[in-house]
Chain A
Amino acid sequence: MLDYETLKIIWWLLVGVLLLGFAVMDGHDMGVGTLLPFVGKDDIERRVIINTVGPHWDGNQVWFITGGGAIFAAWPLVYATAFSGFYWAMLAVLWALFFRPVGFDYRSKIAHPTWRSTWDWGLFVGGFVPPVIFGVAFGNLLQGVPFHFDDNLVSYYTGSFWALLNPFALLAGLVSSAMITFHGANYLMHRTEGVIFERTRRWAIASGMAMLVLFLLAGLLVGGLPGYVITSTVDAAALPDPLAKTVVMETGAWLNNFRVQPALWLLPSLGVLGGLAGVGLAILRRPLAGFVASSLAMAGIIGTAGVALFPFVMPSSSDLKSSLTVWDSVSSHLTLGLMFWATVIFMPLIIFYTSWAYKVMAGKVTTQYIEAHDKSAY
């Protein structure tokens, strides 16, 4: 069995992988949902757009559900503290997601225009709101969140919902939204043709540029934010006890990892270069390569945020020692090992049958297809 310290690091990486899987897979559905009411001008165009993700959105959404389950299993204190602390933000995500299954499945079952356009906007909400909130959440993690534990490890969140909506967090929300829209646009171009392709292409170029500018701006601001540093000796193999450490706040500390390990600058570079390449490929009308580029850009951007925080996962601004880190918010050695092997076994299978499903449904979705499948298509 792998030792405890190694597993703690592996799980930090695996949560990153699951988050990235969510961004790449569910992210392109959400991007398509965000673009739906703007790119699709009439019912049939909107049906084309919806059916590009129709057979896949459900499987893709499981990245999100499994990610949640994996955080529950591997980082129970993070799951407990983040979900209860960000109560209203989490409910907003949840309620926005409500619109997706019913929006996809119910929309085209009734021909009434009001019914259909209502669900179109529902799909927009389900695609637009969650990425914004996840971005806002990351923006708040980078500033620290006001919570503390008592002796029995009951967590108390002492901030308000509105405090989450501070300028830096909103900027992070916009980065996230631009990134997901860009990624969704690349996918949508790949699966459509004609006027929908052309309109989407303009959105891809615009959202890709917005992502680049906003990401660079956020990167410049992070240097001026108060970061967090553990000052006590870390015993990475110890049983997790979040109250056993001491932590200080230091302006610019989020750049420490990059200073110590300059190779990590590759991550933000990947974010920028992936973004530039994606925009270029959209201009050149090469959406599949663009999709790969935007996936890499997301890996760079999410990786940058994760590495800046490391080893912190959820720093506490009101009680520094309560901060949650990869060392002290984890499950037992046995559970981490078990879940590691479960992931190693099932993740390749998931990738295999997901790829197969995309292969079966490959090709452009056209207005002719929708007309021919009026009763069965979304």
Chain B
Amino acid sequence: MNETVVELSRLQFAATAMYHFLFVPLTLGLSFLLVIMESTYVITGKTIYRDMTKFWGKLFGINFALGVTTGITLEFQFGTNWAYYSHYVGDIFGAPLAIEGLMAFFLESTLIGLFFFGWDRLSKGKHLLVTTLTAVASSLSALWILIANGWMQDPVGAEFVYTTMRMELTSFLDVMFNPTAQAKFVHTVSAGYVTGSMFVLGISAWYLLQGRDVEFARRSFRIAAAFGFASALSVIVLGDESGYAVTESQKSKLAAIEAMWETEPAPAGFKLVAWPDDEKQENAWQAEIPYALGLIATRSTSEVIPGIKAIRAQNRERIESGILAVKALERLRKDKDDTDAKLVFEAHKQDLGYGLLLKKYSPDVAQATPAMIEQAARDTVPQVAPLFWTFRVMVALGFAFALLFGLSFWYSIKNSFVEKRWLLKWAVWFIPMPWIAAEMGWFVAEYGRQPWSIFGVLPTHLSTSTLSIGSLYGSLAGFLVFYTLLLVAELYLMFKFARLGPSSLGTGKYHFERTTV
């Protein structure tokens, strides 16, 4: 494949996926906050909770519209830009995407209309049921998408079949209950719940600082503080669970995140800060907490975590074995009954993907020079510094959320948060932070999987469509224009309605309606 086509396809996918994820976490989190608010309304009968549901629901709708818009791009893009990927793993990867539509997205999208327009036509209980099912369906959506994504990280339940030249499903249960996928799911939805809570907490704090719609804001703040505190704790604990999962399947990602060049005696230390140098394969300097990483990542004091150099050396062997697999496969593609080739292929099949890594440097892998093999082995651990730093920003923000929500929750119990202006200001300034943490998280997950699109199976540089460079520049430009315009419209409305507050409902009870009437 053409190198520029691969780079531009990656750029387009990364940009559109990260853009999509500006909207997803808020949908995940806010939908459950709406359930809590509306349940309170149904139980207490106080109309202020109905107004809260409607107002935060309005902001939810502004966000949801772009989530839907940008989600279609991602489904299209596997076919338009990653055609070989789609052929090679569609047998496994397509199923969770289709089931996501059938089981979750249909339900969420059908009921969202009743959430907005069914207030006068449904009983209280039925409307609450609609809201609840919408929220559950949005998290179920995330489950299936993360089962698909988890399989890219850790491709279980499938094997390569040379007659069809692709991966085929062997056990759907393995794909569904893939521990990597499950860990990712709980971590990602918790992050979404944090985002939703931060959004409500921050905007409510802003109303409190302004001294307007105080009752409305106080109640919103409390709900967000409680839900956010639980979510922030879960995001850290379950994030640790994904850290554990990573050691099982993707040692290379962990080593890069930790800038751990050499295999260290167990339990390894956790590097708080470091200056990694990819060229020399060492850190110019570092400061570490002894034993911490080994304990977190292996849950033991004796298990050794391999360093980058050891992983590369091991992968070099797999690449050499993979060359034999690729060569045998080429013979099998010409003659499916070549028994000799079949024997060689079966013996080296597990390293096929590693052999394919060489295609980046030599289309005929049999002609690969030792220097190329060395380079391909180096590629198996991605560049260290970007992973090292994005991971640390994400984790630091995670702890900051726990602290902020913890304090907010504490002062809600003591009923004194309205006077704590420093806390309210902190909450307002922290509104964008969950998005930064979530984007960092995706960067770690996806960049950390390189050079693979399917870990150990299919290299990214073989996964693209055979498009022209011009087409890619054109589509990138199109996305840039559309997405900028959409984001401007979205942010404009979001700010407009957030500033307007519950007065936008037109009930006549809130701040701007009282002052102007």
Is B467 a contact of A84 with CB atoms below 8 Å? yes
User: Is the Cβ of B102 less than 8 Å from the Cβ of A361?
Assistant: no
Instruction: Note all chain B residues with C-beta closer than 8 A to A157.
Output: 466
CB-contact partner of A94 in B65, B76, B116, under 8 A = B76
B164:A334 contact, CB within 8 angstroms = no
Q: Are B81 and A361 in contact (CB under 8 A)?
A: no
A239 at the interface (CB under 8 A from B): yes
Using an 8 Å CB-CB cutoff, how does the interface string of A297-338 with B read, 1 for contact, 0 for none? 000000000000000000000000000000000011011001
List, in ascending order, chain B residues with CB within 8 A of A80's CB. Answer: 79, 83-87, 90, 465
- A101 cross-chain contacts in B, Cβ below 8 A: 64-66, 68-69
Q: Does B413 contact A (CB under 8 A)?
A: no
Determine the chain B residues whose CB is within 8 A of the CB of A74 once the complex forms.
94, 98
Chain B's closest residue to A147 (CB) is B466
State which residues 89-118 of A face B: CB under 8 Å: 90-91, 94-95, 97-98, 100-102, 104-106, 109-110
Kindly supply a per-residue 1/0 record for chain B positions 68-86, scoring 1 wherever the CB is within 8 Å of any chain A CB and 0 otherwise. 1101110110111101111
**CB <8 Å contact, B164 and A239:** yes
Interface membership of A72, Cβ < 8 A: yes
With A and B bound together, what is the CA distance between A376 and B478 in angstroms?
33
Among B167-175, B234-242, B315-323, the one that faces the other chain is B167-175
Q: How far is the CA of A374 from the CA of B507 in the complex (A)?
A: 12
A79-B86, A98-B486, A361-B114 in contact; A66/B101 too (CB < 8 A)?
Answer: yes
* In the complex, chain A residues 43-75 whose Cβ is within 8 Å of any chain B Cβ: 54-59, 61-62, 64-66, 68-70, 72-74
Query: Is B102 within 8 A of A375, CB to CB?
Result: no
Q: Is the pair B95, A339 in contact by a Cβ cutoff of 8 Å? A: yes
Question: How many residues of B are in contact with the other chain, CB < 8 A?
Answer: 79
Set of chain B residues within 8 Å of A361, measured between Cβ atoms: 113-114, 117-118, 121
**Complex Cα–Cα for A98 and B86 (A):** 23
In the bound complex, residues from chain A placing their C-beta under 8 Å from that of B471 are 87-88
Q: How far is the CB of B507 from chain A (nearest CB, A)?
A: 9
The reply on A236 being an interface residue by CB < 8 A is: no
Chain B residues 155 to 179 lying within 8 A of chain A, measured CB to CB, are 161, 163-166, 168-170, 172
Assess the A55–B466 pair: CB atoms within 8 A: no
Q: Complex: how many Å from CA A291 to CA B81?
A: 38
Assuming the contacts A91-B475, A106-B62, A153-B166, asked whether A73 and B95 have C-beta atoms less than 8 A apart, the reply is: yes
Q: Which of B103-111, B196-204, B265-273, B427-435 contacts A (4 or more CB under 8 A)?
A: B103-111
Q: In the complex, which residues of chain A have a beta carbon less than 8 angstroms from the beta carbon of B111?
A: 59, 353, 357
Q: Is the CB of B91 within 8 A of A331?
A: yes
Q: Which residues of B contact A88 (CB under 8 A)?
A: 471, 474
Closest chain B residue to A353, Cβ basis:
B110
B386 at the interface (CB under 8 A from A): no
Q: Does A367 contact B (CB under 8 A)?
A: no
Chain A residues within 8 Å of B75, by CB? 65, 68-69, 72
Is A240 part of the contact surface with B, judged by Cβ < 8 Å? yes
- Complex contact A59–B113 (CB within 8 A): yes
Smallest Cβ-Cβ distance to A58: which chain B residue = B109
CB-CB under 8 A from B61, the residues of chain A are 105
Instruction: Say if the beta carbon of B122 comes within 8 Å of chain A.
Output: yes
Main secondary structure of the interface of A (DSSP, over half): helix
**Closest beta carbon of chain B to A373's beta carbon, Å:** 8
Fill in one digit per residue for B142-153: 1 if any A CB lies within 8 Å of its CB, else 0. 000000000000
Contacts of B110 in A (CB 8 A): 56, 58-59, 62, 350, 353-354, 357
A155-B83 in contact (CB<8A): yes
Q: Does B292 contact A (CB under 8 A)?
A: no
A343 close to chain B: CB less than 8 A: yes
Q: What residues of B have a CB within 8 angstroms of the CB of A331 in the complex? A: 90-91, 94, 168-169
| Contact yes or no, B333 A152, CB < 8 A | yes
The minimal Cβ–Cβ distance linking B353 to chain A, given in whole angstroms, is 14
Taken together as a complex, chains A and B put the C-alpha atoms of A360 and B113 apart, in Å, by 11
Instruction: Decide yes or no whether A83 CB sits under 8 A from chain B.
Output: yes
Q: Which residues on A sit within 8 Å (CB–CB) of B90? A: 72-73, 76-77, 79-80, 331
Known: A66-B98, A95-B478, A335-B169. A54 touches B79 (CB 8 A): no
Give bound CA distance, A76 to B489, whole Å.
36
Q: Is the CB of B83 within 8 A of A81?
A: yes
> With a CB–CB cut-off of 8 A, which chain B residues contact A83?
76, 78-80, 83, 86
* Chain A residue with the shortest CB-CB distance to B492: A110
Inter-subunit contact B94/A69 (CB<8 Å): yes
Q: Which residues of B contact A155 (CB under 8 A)?
A: 83-84, 87, 465-466
A260 within 8 A of B: no
Q: How many angstroms from the CA of A73 to the CA of B86 in the assembled complex?
A: 9
Question: Across the interface, which residues of B come within 8 angstroms of A235, CB to CB?
Answer: none
A72 touches B94 (CB 8 A): yes
In the assembled complex, A342 has its CB within 8 A of some CB on chain B: yes
Please name all residues of chain B whose beta carbon is closer than 8 Å to the beta carbon of A156 when the two chains form the complex: 466
Q: Which of these, A106, A110, A241, contacts B65 with CB under 8 Å?
A: A106
B493 CB within 8 Å of chain A = yes
Q: Which residues of A contact B223 (CB under 8 A)?
A: none
Minimum C-beta distance from A4 to chain B (A) = 12
User: A335 to B169, alpha carbons, bound, how many Å?
Assistant: 7
Assess whether A346 is interfacial by the CB under 8 Å rule: yes
In the complex, chain A residues whose CB is within 8 Å of the CB of B330: 151
- From A58, A102, A152, A360, give the contact of B66 (CB < 8 A): A102
Given A69-B101, A84-B465, verify A91-B106 contact (CB < 8 Å). no
Chain A neighbourhood of B93, CB < 8 A: 72
Closest Cβ of chain A to B375, distance in Å, is 22
Tell me whether B506 is interfacial, beta carbon within 8 Å.
yes
Would A73 and B98 count as touching, CB distance under 8 A? yes
CB-nearest residue of chain A to B81: A84
Can you identify 14 A-B contacts, CB atoms within 8 angstroms?
A: A59-B106, A66-B98, A66-B101, A69-B100, A72-B75, A79-B78, A80-B85, A80-B90, A152-B333, A331-B90, A331-B91, A357-B110, A361-B117, A377-B117
Q: A105-B61, A153-B87 are in contact. List 11 more A-B contacts (CB 8 A).
A: A55-B113, A62-B109, A69-B98, A69-B101, A77-B90, A84-B467, A87-B465, A91-B80, A102-B69, A152-B333, A375-B505
Tell me the A residues contacting B by CB distance below 8 Å.
Answer: 54-59, 61-62, 64-66, 68-70, 72-74, 76-77, 79-84, 87-88, 90-91, 94-95, 97-98, 100-102, 104-106, 109-110, 151-157, 239-241, 331-332, 334-335, 338-339, 342-343, 346-347, 350, 353-354, 357, 360-361, 374-377
Enumerate chain B interface residues (CB-CB to A < 8 A): 54, 61-62, 64-66, 68-69, 71-73, 75-76, 78-81, 83-87, 90-95, 97-103, 105-107, 109-114, 116-119, 121-122, 161, 163-166, 168-170, 172, 330, 333-334, 465-467, 471, 474-475, 478, 482, 486, 489-490, 493, 496-497, 504-506
